Amino acid sequence: MHSYTLEKLQHSHSFSSSNERGERRTRYVLLLTAVTMVVEIVAGSLYGSMALLADGWHMGTHVAAFMIAIFAYQYASKHAENPEYSFGTGKVSVLGGFASAVTLTVVALVMLLESVQRIIDPHPIQFNEAIAVASLGLFINVVSALLLKDDDHHHHH
């Protein structure tokens, strides 16, 4: 009988306290994005703006993606040294990315159907109010990008 070992093929990632800053920033961005999502969806409905509705639901997919990423990261870090995961826990993040893509596709299809309905039966839009909320959304996107920017990440495999 042959005995094989997979030790030389095992792969692990470093999940250390140095990642805490990134985790904290990701949670801030998640909160900012969730609040902005609600504001844009409500404002889009009130002001008749399909663009705000679409951006609000799009931000909703970002919230879902963040939550999936946080779950995948926590799961992967919990099982990083588990020998049952002989090739690492990278598949968890791949499945998370797939789930995010499926969610984004569903939202895009719903927005497409709603947009076609708006072309057939247009609604009045309160542009001034919609522009103010859209500007807030843009500002939040810029702040989020700056928070997630990695100034000193040096990852070596």
Six token digits for residue 125: 């839009």
Interval 82-106 mean pLDDT: 77
What Cα–Cα distance (Å) separates residue 138 from each residue in 40, 49, 78, 108, 127? Answer: 11, 16, 35, 20, 16
Which among 147, 151, 135, 130 is positioned nearest to 32, based on CA atoms?
Answer: 147
20/4: higher pLDDT: 20
**Helices and strands (DSSP H and E) totals, the chain:** 4, 0
Mean pLDDT, the chain, whole residue set:
81
Is residue 157 scored above 60 in pLDDT?
A: no
What's the pLDDT score for residue 26?
82
What's the pLDDT score for residue 4?
52
Kindly report the pTM of this predicted structure: 0.69
Radius of gyration of the chain (CA): 21
Q: What is the pLDDT of residues 38-66, one digit of tens each?
A: 999 999 999 999 999 999 998 888 888 88
